[in-house]
Amino acid sequence: MKTIDARGLSCPEPVILTRKALASGDASYKVIVDNHASKENVTRFAEHQGCRVTVSENDGEYTLSLERSK
């Protein structure tokens, strides 16, 4: 599982990092962001790319687990 640490970055940077990671073709990814807007934007982008997204939150940090649909 590839991990993208986008904490401290504002949009569109987390989405751009996620797009680059998805281009690698791996089956699953973990994206860590620290603001609500980035969580929403990365989730929307990943779902549009055909990924299933699961979000967990811990002390203001969001971990998005992305899995490509088969």
Per-residue pLDDT of 11-32, as tens digits, reads 999 999 999 999 998 999 999 9
The Cα 69–Cα 34 span in angstroms is: 26
Query: What's the pLDDT score for residue 69?
Result: 81
Residue 61 DSSP class:
E
- Tell how far CA 13 is from the center of its chain: 11
What CATH class does 2-68 carry? alpha beta
pTM strictly above 0.85 = yes
Per-residue pLDDT of 41-68, as tens digits, reads 999 999 999 999 999 999 999 999 999 9
